[in-house]
Amino acid sequence: MDGIYQITMNTPMGPMNGKVTLKTNGENLTGVLEIMGMKNNLGNGKVKGNQCYFKGNIKNSALNIEYEIMGQLTGNNLNIYAKTNMGEFKLQGKKIG
């Protein structure tokens, strides 16, 4: 699961691209989510086999998006379901590093 993934989030405003960096330590997951021009440190995530879970929020002066992420890694492809206070989204990612 460790690595850097190029991600695409399908939203009502169209696709948004970003990047997520994931690092595991046993069943613990940390990393950085970069999307919509913002960076967000990930913490308190969990990994079990090829599945991951984490939650957090993205804040700036205009937005406060709380999210809960459930993902599954198949080969180099990361499929993510995101539940947020602004709706539910599917993201697809491909390992790039």
What pLDDT sits at residue 69?
A: 92
- Share the mean pLDDT of the chain: 90
For residue 50, give the amino acid letter.
Answer: N
Q: List the pLDDT tens digit at each of the 97 positions of the chain.
A: 999 999 998 777 788 899 999 999 999 999 998 987 888 888 789 999 999 999 888 877 787 888 899 999 999 999 999 998 888 888 999 999 9
Give the pLDDT score at 59: 79
What is this structure's pTM? 0.87
Give DSSP secondary structure letters for 8-45: EEEETTEEEEEEEEEEEETTEEEEEEEETTEEEEEEEE
Residue 75 CB-density burial (10 A; 0-12 exposed, 13-18 middle, 19+ buried): exposed
Q: Check residue 49 and give its pLDDT.
A: 95
d(CA 16, CA 93): 12
Q: Show contacts of 62-66: CB within 8 Å, 24+ apart.
A: 63/36
CATH topology of domain 3-95: Lipocalin (2.40.128)
Per-residue pLDDT at 70? 95
Q: How far apart are CA 84 and CA 75, in angstroms?
A: 26
